[in-house]
Amino acid sequence: MLVVGLTGGIGSGKTAASDYFASLGITVVDADVVAREVVEPHQPAWQAILERYGAQAFHSDLTLNRAWLREKVFAQPSERVWLEQQTHPRIRERLIQQLQAAKSSYAILVSPLLFESGQSALVQRTLLVDVPTDIQVARARSRDGNDEEQIRRIIAAQMSREERCAKATDIVDNSADLPSLYQQLGPLHQRYLELAKTS
């Protein structure tokens, strides 16, 4: 089956793009959703985080305190490496299961770290939702309420815009409005349907 990896930096509009494909009946598998599932209470990755950081890494309802953990791992790169070792293999396993269960003509794998995590090995084509950094920061601030410095740290920890552009098979520019994004996605959807017939 043809699987298209959809990626982009924080605040680029990956969700807007994946929602568009989903509205056309295309199966969308979201690595962020799966990443949340693998750290649900009492899952193996959750257990590992508890053993390493203790109760401070969780809210009173036992769900992960993402803000606390994000601050911890972005301040200490070695902690980020450890966390990724706990979560990435488990995420990958679930992604493969969900993609194999897809019933549409092709499937979309949405992953902010498509290239960095090696998840690009699960796809035949990659679609990058690209925006200038200043727009990323503005959108992420208005959406998440994070401060600019933290957002810029997240951007710095991800692959550079130039590298992503160099690696992507297809690129859409999402610096304007949604109709403009959809106008670019429509022809790509048709292209993917054609490619799916031959894959």
Pick the closest to residue 180 from 20, 9, 30 (CA basis): 20
Predicted confidence (pLDDT) per residue in 74-132, tens digit? 889 899 999 989 998 999 999 999 999 999 999 999 998 899 888 999 999 999 999 99
Cβ-in-10-Å burial (0-12, 13-18, 19+) of 9 comes to: buried
Q: Which residue has the tokens 């799916």?
A: 196
Domains in the chain, please, with CATH? 2-193 (3.40.50.300)
pLDDT at 199 over 80: no
pLDDT at 19 over 80: yes
Predicted confidence (pLDDT) per residue in 161-195, tens digit? 899 999 999 999 999 999 999 999 999 999 999 99
CA-to-CA distance for 3 and 107, rounded, in angstroms?
5
162 CB neighbour count, 10 Å cutoff: 8
Mean pLDDT of 139-146: 80
pTM, two decimals, is 0.84
Instruction: Tell me the residue type at 98.
Output: Q
The answer to whether 30 touches 18, Cβ cutoff 8 Å, is yes
Cβ-in-10-Å burial (0-12, 13-18, 19+) of 74 comes to: middle
